[in-house]
Amino acid sequence: MKIMVAMSGGVDSTMTAKFLQEAGHEVQGCYMMLHQKPGYHEENIRKVKKVGEYLGIKVHILDLQDKFNEYVYDPFVRLYKEGKTPNPCALCNKFIKLGALLDFAKANGCEKLATGHYVQVVDGFITCAKDPSKDQSYFLAQVPKEVLKDVIFPLGDKFKKDIKELARGVKVLEEFATQAESSEICFVENTYIEVLNKHYNTNLPGNVVDKDGNIIGRHQGYMHYTIGKRRGFEVFGAHEPHFVIKINAEKNEIVVGTKDDLAQKVVELENVNLFIDEDKFECETKIRYRSPKLEAFVEVDKANKTAKLTLNQNALGVAQGQLCVMYDGDRVIASGFIKN
């Protein structure tokens, strides 16, 4: 089978290409240029070309910066300006890695696209990886169901430690096994505020108010805060911790309260992506990548791609713009972005 592999210069995509070639497939590689982070691409392209030479495969360099800006970067900047907390990786997987790159793979005669994500596809459903510490099902939950037949994830049934060990055993690939892992947003050098400062003045002090609208302190600029944050602002005469419970971008205000004020049982979603036919169902849901799963009852409005989640217990720190993913066991059955 002719397969294109998304290659980043990291150990996961490198070993993905190696595994597929060893399985007898005709492999091509593709490195995507998505942004202009200084010094980022040169080193990665060197590594990708090194792997291409080692495996004897063709490697494409694909400039997708315009599409990335449209679907990932610009929404990232806009949502922070609106006082929300975006999830750029989910959008990148949907529109870029398993969108534009899949189109490129097909245009080059490939039957499948492979990536180094730690995730499985079982019976047409995105399913958690065998290695729970590396599972990326959450970040792929916005990918349309019909795309899954065209993509494969060779690392989904493997453990990361084993992948690194195998790479360490091949002299030319040793550097991939020992290099530091990247878990940050690829276009952010240090902090997201530095990115926003290229577009806005984020350091505009404003008022900290309580739930009743009374001014009780000052903050350094609303874009510095996300829901649940408890530091970086002043509450006059405070003796107990205060948490950000709401961000009012139009007024440059942050609303603070107690930890109990963060609690929320009903969550509204937009841009819902369904993998099942039902519009009412029970599930386990994650409101953030690292959050524990909570039981919920879900009602979906298919026409408007919205949903209402009623949680069995309170969730803390529910943030507008974050991705909410619904599971049935290890299977992803729906996802949507938090809007309330």
The set of catalytic residues is 92, 186
Backbone angles phi, psi at 246, to 5 degrees: -160, 145
Q: Is 29 annotated as a binding residue?
A: no
Q: Is 8 annotated as a binding residue?
A: yes
Q: Is 33 annotated as a binding residue?
A: no
Q: Is 137 annotated as a binding residue?
A: no
Find, among 190, 267, 256, 173, the residue nearest to 222 by Cα. Answer: 256
Cα–Cα distance, 147 to 124 (Å, whole number): 10
User: Half-sphere exposure of residue 292, counting CA atoms within 13 Å on the CB side?
Assistant: 7
Which tokens is 1 given? Answer: 């089978």
Q: Is 116 annotated as a binding residue?
A: yes
CB 333 within 8 A of CB 326: yes
CB 200 within 8 A of CB 210: no
Backbone angles phi, psi at 200, to 5 degrees: -135, 160
Which tokens is 195 given? Answer: 């990115």
Phi-psi region of 270 (alpha: psi -120 to 50; beta: other; left: phi over 0): beta
Q: Is 11 annotated as a binding residue?
A: yes
How many residues in total does the chain contain?
A: 340
Q: Is 9 annotated as a binding residue?
A: yes
Within a 10 A sphere around the Cβ of 201, how many other Cβ atoms?
Answer: 9
Q: Is 24 annotated as a binding residue?
A: no
Can you say which residues are annotated as belonging to the binding site? 6-13, 32, 116
User: Which residue ranges make up the annotated binding site for ATP?
Assistant: 6-13, 32, 116
